[in-house]
Every structure is written in structure tokens, then in C-alpha cells.
Structure 1
Amino acid sequence: MKNIIYAISILLLFASRKDNTSAQTNRVETKTETSIQHENVAYKSIEVNGMNIAYREAGNPENPSIVLLHGFPASSHQYRKVLNQLSNEYHLIAPDYPGFGNSDFPDSKTFEYTFDNLATTINAFLEKKNINNYAIMIQDYGAPIGFRLATANPERITAIINQNGNAYEAGLGDAWQGIRALWKDRNETTETALLPAFSLEGLKWQYTHGVRNIETVNPDNWNLDYLRLSRPDAHAVNLDLFYDYQNNVKLYPKWQQYLRDNQPPLLIVWGKNDAFFPESGAAAFKKDVTNIDYNIYDTGHFALEEDGDAIIKKMRSFMRKHTK
């Protein structure tokens, strides 16, 4: 227990450092807004490459599609507000990656947990669903998966909605120190140092660090994640993904070139208090994208938890402008 508390305190220490980015931005003052719920979310699954992939789907498939790509340690559950509020106007689909959410959790001996393989699976999922023209909403792990989809088939991407999804080295915060040590030398010591991230306390911290009011964050988030991360082999699988994340960093220049060449409409809705992906990561997109709607929120890594209504209102306006 002492080791867990110590490790989390170190993360908090690093996260407390202020980002001094001077980029111009829309500083969003969050106000209470009335949200309209459209309770027509379906919970489905489909076989993809021998695996059962679970997903949530809402809205008319004839409407413009938005593919919602979740982060770590989450699942499609993180997009429940988006699914409920935008389904009257858009077709929304939120898959769980292999090993996440309600999708199959294949043994690492039969499925190599890399971001290449996660993206390959999600691409096959979308093709099987016959979704070939869509916007993507990316957050955390959703960014390396989404950018792989975009660079492989840029003609399919109608727009990008980015909630703390990184594509620049400038966007890697101090909380990456432990994972960087793993990249440098993967051994028992560097792996053990990261295990507190999978504890209940560590998972709660990821959802609540940097928020204005912890009571606005649904505790189901970290409790559900903890159950999934308590399964046999779950720690090893997620350490594999931590280790493989370095290959995402190597692809950053390719993703940046995609942005420069294709200039997709880009909506930034970023929590500035994210210890992993600070505001500097959001500002970096301004170097490569001219058609950018840039919004910064005074919240943490999972900005939808605290500022969901405001972000969804912005998403609706953005999608109306850029898609038909």
C-alpha cells in the first residue's frame, strides 16, 4: 500500500507543474447547460478476425457517422454522454478494443497487444460494418488508433474531434517518466514501478486529477476499469501496450505530415490539466492544421466527464459546419 501511495504521489508531483504554453486559445468558461438525452443506444457485438468486438451504436446509419475511439484505461463507456446526446443528428459508433470493455480479451500468446494490431482490428471492424466515410473522435489511446486509420485511408476521414489525443512530442507530459524508463530498459524494476497505475487508487486518480469538482465524475468509471484490470494477465497485457507506445511516438512525424497534406477539419476540446497530455499537445496542432476550432477546458484527462455538455454542444456545431 505504501508503494502505491508513493507512486501516485510522484505522479501528482509531476502533474502539478504548470504548462506555460502561450498559444492563443478559446478559454472556455464552463456554465451549466441543459442537455437533451436520446436514449436509443444499442449494445452490440460482432466477430472480427476471430474475436468478439463489443460496441455501442446510436442514431440513424443514414446520417453522418462519428467513430468514437476510447482511451486507457477506459472503454466505449466513456462516450455514453456523446451517444445519448448526439444520436438524433448523427450515426455514432463506439467500439471496445480487444482486451478492453466488453470485447474479447484474447491471450497475449494468440494476440500481440500492439497499437498496430488494435488499429488493424478496428479497421476490420469498420469495414465489416460498412462504415467507409466518417469523422473520428479520439482521446488518449484513440489517437494512435485513429491516426493509423487516417493515414491508411485519408479519403475516409471527414473530420477529427480531438479530446486530449496526442500526436506531438511536445504533448508528452512529465507523467510519462515511468513509461519512458520502461522504453529505455524493460525489466522487472521498470515494470513494477508502473503497477500502481492499475490499482483502484491509480485508476481513480486518472479520472479525477485536474478536475474542478470531483463530485461531477462518475465513480463507475474507475470501478469498471478496475474489474477489467483485475483479470488474469491484464497487467502484463497493458504493460505490453505501455511499452509499445514508443512506436506511436516514432510515427508522430507521419501523422503530422498527414495533417499538413490533408488538412482535415479539426476540433480541439482539450482538458488543460491532463498530467499525461498537457495543453502543449493541443497547441502543437496549430503548426500543421489551418482549419482548427481550438477550445481548452479547465479540467483533466477525461474532459467529457466534467464538461461533457459544453463539449457536445461544440461537437454538434462543428459537425454541422463540416459534414453533410
Structure 2
Amino acid sequence: MAAAVRHRRVSVDGVDVFYREAGPAQAPVVLLPHGYPCSSFQYRNLMAALGDRWRLIAPDLPGFGYSATPDPADFDYTFAGYGRFLRRFVDILGLPRYAIYLHDYGSQHGFRLAMSAPDRVAALIVQNGDIYRDEFGPKYAPLLSYWSRPTPQGRAELAGNVSVAGFRDEFIGELPARLADRVSPDLWTLAWAQLSSPPRPEILLGIFTDQANTLADFTRMQSYLREHRPPTLIVWGLHDGYMPPAAARAYLRDLPDAELHLLDGGHWALETNLDEIVFLARDFLGRTHSNGATRS
């Protein structure tokens, strides 16, 4: 039976943070940082499916979802800032050890958390979260162009993506019709309702700009994988304009023992391939991060 998903709030250094939680309090923890333009809502089904054996925790990052939006003077809306936020979040919740689900922008935040305390990472599940620039897909072209030569026109083009149409394209843009109708319009409708009010659109544009700074961190993330070799499961939707299958295979350069599964889905594979991911995650976590598993 599906586990109950509970909806909670916690203050993180004065910021009111909303998070979803499922599973027994003493079960091994799986942390679920979300991607753009979503929130913890993206993990609702995965949490219900795995909550019988694991404690799953998915926060809404500040400026997203149901969490507060502190003044930019008081919160660092950058990838590095969100990485620091995650570290404070797990410390305040008293989570000494966890697996991390790495997806989309959440992979960048999650890797920063992992590198800040490698001994606390029990395992990684990587799902369409890239750290290999040479394998970027064609959908990165507008971002790469803007990063290399920022112009008002380029910024305006990026701003056009912060819209209900732009969000819809994020969720189903590359999916074939036979898969697109599996993706609920609740995703982009809720995301737009949550992100359309100022100052959130401007914060999102700032995050687009700051993403250029993550490229220099890719080598550190790759080094982290080679040095610490966390048990890693890679589950990857094939139909992804940002992160094609080659971006998944690239992880094997640094983690040749990682388990790789390419799925007939897209960037938001939890919507199109939930049962497959649940099956693979249960098997993987059961071996690497459960009460009966050998500590890695």
C-alpha cells in the first residue's frame, strides 16, 4: 500500500521552509532536492511508493513551492547558496546519513551537499542531472549563448521561458505523443501559480545566469565521484533535450561500477516511468541503504 505523505514546515535560519515527508522516522533517509521549475511536488508519487522502507524528505527550496521567498539581500539565490541551504536543512532536521536523489538543478545542489560531508552520503540516485559539459544537449544552446555574451535581448529571451508556456515546454517539450499524455498538466499549472508572482520570476532569471558558474564546479563533482565512489544508480529518460543519453553514460568515466538504466521516458521520468524507477530504486536502496544493508 502507498505510504502517507505528510506536509510539514521548519525554520531554517529564519526562513520558513515547506517540506514533504513519508516513511518511518527511524528508517534510512532519502533526500529529494527538486529541479526547475518544480518543487517537492515532483516527488509525491515516488515518496508514496518507497515510504514503507525509507524515510523520504523533499524540501521546497526558498523561492520555490510553498517555502518562503526571503529578500535577495538576506538569501543567496545561487547554486552555491542552495547547496549551503541543503546542508543547514539536513543539520536542523538531524539527518546524519542519507541517500540523495539527483535530478535537474537539484543535482547541482545535491552534489554540493555531498561534497560538504562525503561521509554522510550512503548512496546516490542520478536521474537526468548532468555534470559533463561536453555532453550538453541542444536545448542548452540559448543558455550557452547568453553565458558567453550576455545581452538584454538574450536576457529577454530567457525571461520568455518563465511563463506557463515555457514551463509546459520544460515538462513535455521533447516527449513523443505516446508519452506526453502521461504527464499531468498539474505540474506546469502549479509551478506557474507558485512562481509567477514577484520577485520569483526575477530570482529565476538570476538562477539562469548563475548556472554558468556551475560549469567550473563540474570537475570538482567528477573528482568527488572518483575519490569517494558512492554507490550510484543512474536512471535516465532518453527523450531529454538538455541531457541526452550520452550525458548519462558520461558518469561511467568516473564511476565505472555505477548501475545505468536508460528508460523510454523524458527529463521528468518520474511522471512517465514511475514503476520502473521504483523497482530499480527499491532493489538498489535495499542493497546499499537499508536497515539490512551493509554500511558503505
* Bin of the TM-score, shorter chain as denominator length: over 0.9
Correspondence for 1:239: 205
Q: How does 1:132-147 map to 2 (within 5 A)?
A: 132-147=96-111
Name the structure 1 match of 2:283: 317
1:225 deviates by: 0.7
Q: Which residue of structure 2 lines up, in the alignment, with residue 37 of structure 1? A: 2
Contact 2:240–2:266 (8 Å) recurs in 1? yes
Q: How far apart, CA to CA, are the structure 1 residues paired with 2:141 and 2:16? A: 35
Offset, 1:253:
0.6
User: Equivalences for 1:112-123 in 2 at 5 Å?
Assistant: 112-123=76-87
Provide the secondary structure at the position in 1 that maps to 2:211: helix
CA contact (8 A) 1:49 1:121 kept: no
Count, aligned residues: 288
Question: Which residue type is aligned with residue 54 of structure 1?
Answer: F
Structure 2: distance between partners of 1:274 and 1:157: 27
1:104 alignment partner AA:
A
Counterpart in the other structure of 1:205: 169
Letter in 1 for 2:258: I
**Ranges in structure 2 where 5+ consecutive residues have no aligned partner:** none
User: 1:140-155 to 2 correspondence within 5 Å?
Assistant: 140-155=104-119
Alignment-derived partner of residue 79 in structure 1: 43
Amino acid at match of 1:170: D
2:171–2:188 contact (8 Å) kept in structure 1: yes
Q: Using the TM superposition, give the Cα deviation of residue 72 of structure 1 relative to its aligned residue in structure 2, in angstroms.
A: 0.3
CA RMSD for the aligned pairs?
1.2
**Residue in structure 2 matched with residue 33 of structure 1 by the alignment:** none
Pairing partner for 1:282 from 245, 248, 255: 248
Q: Is the 8 A contact 2:179 2:265 kept in 1?
A: no
Structure 2 residue 271 is matched with structure 1 residue 305: yes
* 1:98 pairs with one of 54, 62, 67: 62
Instruction: Please state whether the residue corresponding to 1:227 is helix, strand or coil.
Output: helix
Structure 1 runs (4+) greater than 4 angstroms displaced: none
Residue of 149, 157, 170 corresponding to 1:193: 157
- Give the CA deviation at 1:183: 1.4
Percent identity, please. Answer: 34
Q: How far has the Cα of 1:295 moved from its partner?
A: 0.5
Moved more, 278-287 or 212-221: 212-221
Secondary structure of 1:141's aligned partner: helix
Task: Give, in whole Å, the separation in 2 of the partners of 1:138 and 1:274.
Answer: 16
- Where 1:213 maps in the other structure, the secondary structure is helix
Shift of 1:174: 1.4
Deviation by residue 1:30-85 (Cα, 9 ceiling, x = unmatched): xxxxxx422x1110010112101110011112111100111000000000111111
Match of 2:88 in 1: 124
TM-score scaled by structure 2?
A: 0.94
Aligned: 1:62 with 2:26: yes
Asked whether the 8 Å contact 2:76–2:82 carries over to 1, the reply is no
Note if contact 1:266-1:293 (Cα within 8 Å) is conserved in structure 2.
yes
For residue 108 of structure 1, report the CA deviation from its aligned partner.
2.1
The match for 2:233 is 267
- Aligned letter for 2:40? S
**TM-score if structure 1 supplies the norm length?**
0.86
The letter for the 2-side match of 1:277 is: M
Contact 2:37 2:167 in 1 (8 A): yes
Runs of at least 5 residues in structure 1 that lack an aligned partner in the other structure: 1-35
Give the structure, 1 or 2, with the largest relative contact order (CA under 8 Å, sep 6 or more): 1
| Structure 2: distance between partners of 1:140 and 1:262 | 22
Q: CA–CA distance in 1 between the matches of 2:135 and 2:24? A: 36
